[in-house]
Structure 1
Amino acid sequence: MRISGTSRAVGDARQAVRSAFGGLPGAFWWIWLGTLVNRLGSFVLPLFAFYLTGPMHRSAAFAGVVAALYGVGASVSGVVGGVLADRIGRKPTLVASLSANAASIIALGYARSPLWLCLGALTVGLVTNAFRPATSAMIADIVPDAQRVRAYGLNYWAINIGFAVASLSIGLVVEFGYLALFYADAASTLLCVLLIAVFVRDTTPRSAPTPIAHAASPTSNNAATDAPSSDGLATVLRDRVFITFVAVFFLLLLVFQQCNAAQPMAMAHDGLTAAQVGYISAINGVLVVALQLPLVRWLERFPVAPVLAVSGVVLGVGMAVPLLGGSVGIFALSVVIWTIGEIGCTPISSALVARLAPAHLRGRYQGIHQIAWSGSAVLAPLTGGAAFSAFGGTPVWLGCLAIAALAAVAILRLAPALTRRLAQAAAAAAVVLPDQAPEASPLAAALASE
């Protein structure tokens, strides 16, 4: 009986592993590995606000301005990267962006004056974000629709494995000086470049959809042309459902980005050390690694709009926890709660964007989606840094809670339009490829149930 029970447990474990990791294309796993390697050296951005307000002895308001300049650059590079991913290809965009990112990170490490800190952060932003739309578009290119939620979840999982290891290692690396953080960050980025350059082929679609498919899309009024770039950004901007979703998601990210803005400032203000900040930040990565795969698979059973709405509220509650105090335990509890909200928002929203985008415009759609991320990276440190510097943490934490609640209401109101839009996209795909209609994904099933 004991042997039989052990065998059953082993069999169940194998089935769970196959369910989580099996069936994805080999190219996806090289992208996954490159993402992991890159994030293993992500020392600079999570610690940058602390670095400026602590060792560099700059004000919280100045740290907010520097972080905002990084966000301005990231906003530009995200859109440019999306266009380049469609025009010159996913792989060339990835390699060029990541290589430039490594060089700019090292240069930022030598910046000391306010002017050079500002210019350095802006430069890093201008090159660092171009690879993200290309990565997201490449995953959508190679992973079947039915597996995209899982693929984006696994990629986000890799991001957080690397983030957790990097956060736990900050205290060790900083023993060699803060400059070592910048060099280690750049080295991991260059290793990612090598993996992508050697093992991943370009996946850029070389032809636009047929006129039938194009006409079926609610975002287009013209017939398709021969070039994949014939539809420009105007086509994406006319997609009202998508643009509305990006705007609402921006509100949630505005709350989430305080983990890199007001929260580190609060930790420095309350006397936490760099090692303690690293340990607390690592909780986020550890929890995502431990909980994301089973939690996302469970959440896929429910309609997507309520999942995103509830997850957004949890995110806001987590950010408001420092209202209870400024100890290590309070900040750790805050990270635990908002991480659960983050898990409920990120992979499903990424898969949703992939389904809304026509294949030949995936780079542009992902680039516009990146504006929500980079735009929030601009506004979050400006508002959070200024409010924290002037009034302390209370207005920031209360504002996070209020914005999250507002975004949750907006998502629920958008749900019917999302349902109709994805049904139209599925119908268009079935018309173009009746013999190769994609299997319904858990996300589509969730939306259809609304």
Structure 2
Amino acid sequence: MIKEYINLPRPLYVIIFAFMINSFGNFVRPFLTFLLTDKYGFSKDYTGFIVSLVTFIIVPGSLIGGRLVDTLGRKRIMIIFHLISALCLIICAFIEKPRLIIYLLLASSLSLSIASPGFNSMITDISKEELRKTAFSLSYLGVNFGFALGSMIAGFLYKNYTKLLFLGNAITTIIAMILIYFFVEETLPKKEDIKMLKLSPKESYEEGSTLQALIKRPVLLAFGFIYIVFSLVYNQCAFALPIHLNQLFNSEGAKLYGMVMALNAFTVVIFTPFINSFTERYPSLFCVGIAGMLFAFGFGLNFFARVPWMFFISTFIWTLGEIIDAVNNRAFIAENSPVSHRGRFNSVMQIIMGSGYTLSPYIAGKFLRNNSVETIWVYTFYLALLGSFMMFALNYYYCKGKLIKVEGEEV
């Protein structure tokens, strides 16, 4: 299981190590709900609006970033906009005005969204199709290993050293970009070199707009829209869960949330190689459907949780779903993206799939005005089950070869 990670291209290891460092310092985003409600005193309703806005701003950023990384290059765009994001966080550490901090966080989120299509595009560029799942599995493993260590530190820094959350986040971002700058070459393939690449029909170079290329791949669009259900459910770990823990455990809620997120990340680190090895034999869409079932039972269990160990069990279950989902959804998108449109396909799919992340806090914030936080978990259970059944149906038709067409031919 571990040996499958050994023979990947060298630049891939550098990219993954850089983003492992970056994710180690991802202190601010996971604790945004706590910062807005606990530190800055905003209402749950307003907090839900801001968290949704921070996520919604990914839409224009991803569209811009997808175009830029396909034309100007992955590396340059990633470095420039990660550094702009880091600068915004540094300023946040030295000001005391909550409203201004919100504007800076929005600017930081916009910059990251412009940079983000470059990451998956670089991994896709570097890895061969048969190694794609392994490459994405290792990147997911590395990012979560960093996040596991960072979550525990952030949980303890939050109460008395809030400024260090911003500074730590910025510093690790800068270190990661230094590594990318010195040790990774540009991966954007030149048009004349693409003909030399051995690509499947679904990944071949295409002329025309992103919309034209997407229309030829209706299964990819169907996948993205079904996935919205999963993102609506999953994002409650960043919104409803911290509110629930704060309600039950008061001042200890933030610390417990840090432990829950650390458990999430360590589960990813420990179980990803095993799960990747086991699921390689199954179609990606089927695996994502299984992930949805685990989301249903994992998040649904929170309805009954009243003591910490129940939240730990719940987190372990939905994290298994997260592992299966993360590796397979990115691999599926990569194997259905033409080499000429990888950045744009990544950005468009991120927007479609991520619309649930955008709407989730806003909807949940409105819901909590008249309902208890426990009730949310009932709805997440049924939504995740619905998403799973739709994904299984899509997998059935996809495997039958009825939905995907490239250049007018079924593949």
Q: Specify which of 60, 63, 70 is matched with residue 44 of structure 2.
A: 60
Q: Specify which of 385, 389, 395 is matched with residue 405 of structure 1.
A: 385
Task: Give the distance between the partners of 2:183 and 2:377, measured in 1 at CA.
Answer: 45
Q: Does 1:283 align with 2:299?
A: no
Could you tell me which residue of structure 1 aligns to residue 183 of structure 2? 199
Q: Does 1:131 align with 2:111?
A: no
Q: Specify which of 211, 236, 241 is matched with residue 234 of structure 1.
A: 211
Q: Deviations over 1:393-425 (max 9, x none)?
A: 233111111211111121122124433289866
1:316 CA displacement: 1.9
Q: Does 1:180 align with 2:137?
A: no
Could you tell me which residue of structure 1 aligns to residue 342 of structure 2? 362
Q: Does 1:267 align with 2:249?
A: no
The 8 Å contact of residues 314 and 341 in structure 1, kept in 2 or not, is answered as: yes
The 8 Å contact of residues 111 and 120 in structure 1, kept in 2 or not, is answered as: no
* Structure 2 SS opposite 1:234: helix
Within a 5 Å distance, the mapping from 1:11-30 to structure 2 comes to 16-19=1-4, 21-30=5-14
* Structure 2 SS opposite 1:391: coil
Q: Specify which of 136, 157, 174 is matched with residue 152 of structure 1.
A: 136
Q: Does 1:334 align with 2:314?
A: yes
Task: Give the distance between the partners of 2:147 and 2:366, measured in 1 at CA.
Answer: 27
Task: Give the distance between the partners of 1:303 and 1:214, measured in 2 at CA.
Answer: 19
Equivalent AA in structure 2 for residue 235 of structure 1: Q
Say what the alpha-carbon RMSD is for the aligned residues.
2.7
Structure 1: gaps of 5 or more residues: 1-15, 225-229, 429-447
Equivalent AA in structure 2 for residue 331 of structure 1: F
Equivalent AA in structure 2 for residue 187 of structure 1: I
Q: Deviations over 1:149-180 (max 9, x none)?
A: 01101101111101110111124434652011
1:233 CA displacement: 2.5
Q: Does 1:317 align with 2:294?
A: no
The 8 Å contact of residues 252 and 312 in structure 1, kept in 2 or not, is answered as: yes
Task: Give the distance between the partners of 2:24 and 2:71, measured in 1 at CA.
Answer: 30
Task: Give the distance between the partners of 2:303 and 2:242, measured in 1 at CA.
Answer: 15
Q: Deviations over 1:99-143 (max 9, x none)?
A: 111112233445655643442332222111222211111111111
How many equivalent pairs are there? Answer: 403
Kindly tell me: are residues 312 and 91 of structure 1, through their superposed partners in 2, closer, same or farther at Cα, counting changes over 3 Å? Answer: same
* Structure 2 SS opposite 1:273: helix
Q: Does 1:43 align with 2:27?
A: yes
The 8 Å contact of residues 53 and 268 in structure 1, kept in 2 or not, is answered as: no
The 8 Å contact of residues 19 and 143 in structure 2, kept in 1 or not, is answered as: yes
Structure 2: gaps of 5 or more residues: none
1:327 CA displacement: 2.5
Task: Give the distance between the partners of 2:369 and 2:16, measured in 1 at CA.
Answer: 39
1:186 CA displacement: 0.5
Equivalent AA in structure 2 for residue 233 of structure 1: T
Task: Give the distance between the partners of 2:353 and 2:92, measured in 1 at CA.
Answer: 22
The 8 Å contact of residues 40 and 162 in structure 1, kept in 2 or not, is answered as: yes
Q: Percent identity?
A: 24
What is the TM-score of this pair, normalised by structure 2? 0.90
Q: Specify which of 326, 332, 336 is matched with residue 352 of structure 1.
A: 332
Task: Give the distance between the partners of 1:114 and 1:17, measured in 2 at CA.
Answer: 46
Equivalent AA in structure 2 for residue 79 of structure 1: L
Could you tell me which residue of structure 2 aligns to residue 6 of structure 1? none
Could you tell me which residue of structure 1 aligns to residue 65 of structure 2? 81
The 8 Å contact of residues 253 and 372 in structure 1, kept in 2 or not, is answered as: no
Q: Name the larger-Rg structure.
A: 1
The 8 Å contact of residues 105 and 124 in structure 1, kept in 2 or not, is answered as: yes
Q: Does 1:247 align with 2:225?
A: yes
Task: Give the distance between the partners of 1:310 and 1:76, measured in 2 at CA.
Answer: 31
1:334 CA displacement: 1.8
Q: Deviations over 1:13-35 (max 9, x none)?
A: xxx4323x211000100101111
Q: Does 1:394 align with 2:380?
A: no
The 8 Å contact of residues 313 and 408 in structure 1, kept in 2 or not, is answered as: yes
Q: Deviations over 1:353-376 (max 9, x none)?
A: 000001111111111121145422
1:57 CA displacement: 2.2
Equivalent AA in structure 2 for residue 234 of structure 1: L
1:147 CA displacement: 0.6
